[in-house]
Structure 1
Amino acid sequence: MSEERNPNRTQDSPSWGKLILRFFISAIVIGVAAFITPGFRIDGLWGVFLAALAISVINYLIERVFNFDASPFGRGIAGFVVAAIVIYVSQFFIAAMSVTLLGAIIGAIVIGIIDMVIPGKTI
């Protein structure tokens, strides 16, 4: 669709393909973080996908409601704290996920480090 046909679409809006790719990258990052972080456990592949979905939805709601980037290093220490809280709260929506408070903090650090290495926004 060209800009002439759909004037409401902005240049910055991602396509469905980019959103799906970003979701899968987020799932991989969250799965790796859960694997190497003590106190952060996700059971099974579907659990990883559901955790990525829950974290993405909570992150999206925070960005829309508070106009705040909730990525681990998005807004300095405040972004890091919000990212840890998002990881911790997600366990209450996903049965296959369990996170301790320390695991959420370490997980936010791990996700932030991986996010700095992988180009594009992962969470």
Structure 2
Amino acid sequence: MRFLGHVIRFIVAALVLMVVGWIVPGFSIGGFWSALLLALVIAALGWIIEGIFGKRVNPFGRGIVGFLISALVIWIAQFVVGNFSVTILGAILAALLIGIIDLFIPVSTPYDAGRSNRS
């Protein structure tokens, strides 16, 4: 994926996170720049988890383990990103809503995007 593709991907992710913040109770985000930083942090945490534990337990994986890891990553990200707070229930609901949105706006995982560039 080229640089512009990454930029567009993170802008779309930030917009999705802002929509999630508007819909999900217990999920509060300050604005676009906080959402963009949150998208970067979630991608970085997802890349680290996928690199350590493999594709089965990444936040972008399908299934209950991927869903729970996704909620955990969202919850942990609140300690890194300013102007963002989430409850545990908010993180679970946000992971569910992001998963549903991902069905309509699919993106490759950061790990897959980095691997496809090396080929």
Q: Which has the larger radius of gyration?
A: 1
Distance 2:10 2:109 in 1: 7
**2:91 is matched with which residue?**
104
Q: Within 5 Å, which residues of 2 pair with 1:61-72?
A: 61-68=48-55, 69-71=58-60
- Residues 121, 30 of structure 1: alpha-carbon distance in 2 compared, 3 angstrom cutoff: farther
Task: Indicate the SS of the match to 2:75.
Answer: helix
Task: Indicate the SS of the match to 2:92.
Answer: helix
Residue 17 of structure 1 pairs with residue 9 of structure 2: no
Aligned length: 108
- Runs of 5+ consecutive residues of structure 1 not aligned to the other structure: 1-13
User: Cα distance, 1:52 vs. partner?
Assistant: 1.0
- Read off the aligned partner of 1:20 and give its amino acid letter: V
The ranges of structure 1 where at least 4 consecutive aligned residues each deviate by more than 3 angstroms after the TM superposition are none
- Read off the aligned partner of 1:18 and give its amino acid letter: G
- 1:51-74 superposed Cα distances (whole Å, 9 cap, x missing partner): 111111111111112223312xx2
User: How high is the TM-score relative to the length of structure 2?
Assistant: 0.83
User: How high is the TM-score relative to the length of structure 1?
Assistant: 0.81
- Runs of 5+ consecutive residues of structure 2 not aligned to the other structure: 111-119
Task: Indicate the SS of the match to 2:81.
Answer: coil
User: Cα distance, 1:82 vs. partner?
Assistant: 0.2
Cα RMSD over matched residues?
Answer: 1.5
**2:65 is matched with which residue?**
78
